[in-house]
Amino acid sequence: MSNPPGRPVFKRILLKLSGEALMGPKSFGIDETVVDQMAAEIADVHRLGVEIAIVVGGGNIIRGVTASDRGLDRVTGDNMGMLATVINALALQDALEKKGVPTRVQTAIEIRAVAEPVIRRRAIRHLEKGRVVIFAAGTGNPFFTTDSAAALRANEIHAEILLKATRVDGVYTADPRKVPDAKLLSDVTYQQVLERDLKIMDAAAISLCRDNGLPIGIFNLTRAGNIRRVVCGERVGSIVRREI
Distance, in Å, from the CA atom of 229 to the CA atom of 139, rounded to the nearest integer, reads 29
Q: What is the pLDDT of residue 3?
A: 53
Greater model confidence, 66 or 169: 169
DSSP per-residue codes, 133-159: EEEESTTSSTT--HHHHHHHHHHHTT-
Is 50 exceeded by the pLDDT of residue 88?
A: yes
Residue range 28-40, pLDDT digits in tens: 999 999 999 999 9
Every domain of the chain and the residues it spans: 12-241
Is 80 exceeded by the pLDDT of residue 69?
A: no
Q: What is the pLDDT of residue 1?
A: 37
The predicted model gives 169-178 an average pLDDT of 88
| pLDDT band of 175, cuts 50, 70, 90 | confident
Greater model confidence, 66 or 193: 193
Residue (of 198, 93, 96) closest to 147 by Cα position: 198
Residue (of 60, 118, 67) closest to 85 by Cα position: 60
In sequence order, the β-bridge partners of residue 54 are: 15, 134
pTM for this predicted structure? 0.93
Distance, in Å, from the CA atom of 18 to the CA atom of 15, rounded to the nearest integer, reads 10
Q: What is the pLDDT of residue 2?
A: 46
Q: What is the pLDDT of residue 5?
A: 58
Residue range 102-113, pLDDT digits in tens: 999 999 999 999
Residue range 113-160, pLDDT digits in tens: 999 999 999 999 999 999 999 999 999 999 999 999 999 999 999 999
Q: Identify the architecture of domain 12-241 in CATH.
A: 3-Layer(aba) Sandwich (3.40)
Distance, in Å, from the CA atom of 153 to the CA atom of 120, rounded to the nearest integer, reads 8
